[in-house]
Amino acid sequence: MTGGAGFIGSNFVLSWLAQFDEPIINLDALTYAGNLENVASLVGDRRHIFVRGGIGDSCLVAGLLDKYRPRAILNLAAESHVDRSISGPEDFIQTNIVGVFRLLEEARIYWTGLTGPEKENFRFLHVSTDEVYGSLGLHDAAFKEVNRIEPNSPYSASKAASDHLVRAYHHTYGLPVLTTNCSNNYGPFHFPEKLIPLTIVKALAGEGLPVYGDGRQVRDWLYVQDHCAAICCVLSKGRPGEVYNIGGWNEKTNLDTVYAVCDLLDELYPRKDLISYRKQITFVADRPGHDRRYAVDASKVGCELGWKPVESFETGIRKTVQWYLQNQDWVASVQSGAYREWMEKNYTDRAKSE
């Protein structure tokens, strides 16, 4: 699998090896959001084979495929933060488009050389996002797999391009691909530039909690372990060439999400002055082209493959806040100088322009 030291990838690796003995070759470039501490519990476990490198390194990928002869490739490697894509889109083009193209090429060459059951059973599973569908109105039906692709940010455009490449490799070459488009994930090991971990970290530091615009943007929230279970389900039972939307059926405004985090912190880790963490909320200038609402209809994966989320937003967000409270050393370790520089640039500038 690729991207196995990132947020979703590391959760998947840990979940997989907790259930199965089948080894995982974990290829990750260890950019700012990739962290080997996420999989530190697997040190010495022979089922976890870590290789540092990017999906755009064709020679490295070809060598790994030749050496380990995997039955599947799971692509979770991606640049994934919308704000970063706005200020620096080129990395997103290189990883999410060029990198996926090169990975697909090596997968196609490898698959073409297989025979019999190995070839028949091979799968290439590509993990994508609901953001490729664009933005919904408040009363619009949730996105289905047949919805038109209408990305609105450099990030979502790069992911849409990779989705199209995956589809093309199936229809042109016959490569047995699967694509999943998930809603907003949250949970352990989430890099603290995204809304939920950012709110937790800044609240505990006594800093302002930045909320874009009026905070009424709506997102569907999916607990990361539920997403990992869905990936397993699609890998084992999904039909090649198909797209599956993975959602949590938990639509919340950004402001309500921040309120939920603050209320849990009030309960589990109250401020010394007993004032609610809600008082730290600060509204900042909205991001350019901010999509108003995302929501996916996950009926297909439920009806066809039998998957459904286990966690409600209430149970999942409690587990998430508890994890961050219990793992503050991990949070401190990922907040490097580069991270602090980015946060200063992104949020201080927005606060000034509000």
Hey, which residues are catalytic here?
Answer: 130-131, 155
- For 253-283, the DSSP string reads EHHHHHHHHHHHHHHHS--TT---GGGGEEE
The encoded tokens of residue 341 equal 């520089």
First to last CA, the chain: 42
Residue 203: its H or E element = helix 195-204
The Cβ-side half-sphere exposure at 21, using a 13 Å CA radius, reads 0
Q: Which residues of 202-234 are buried (b: 16+ CB within 10 A; e: fewer)?
A: bbbeeebbbbbbebebbbbbbbbbbbbbbbbbb
Is residue 192 within 8 A of residue 269, CB to CB? The reply is no
Pairing of strands 218-223, 251-253: antiparallel
C-alpha torsion sign, points 163, 165, 166, 167: positive
The sheet carrying 251-253 orders its strands as 184-186, 218-223, 251-253
Pairing of strands 281-284, 243-246: unpaired
Pairing of strands 251-253, 48-52: unpaired
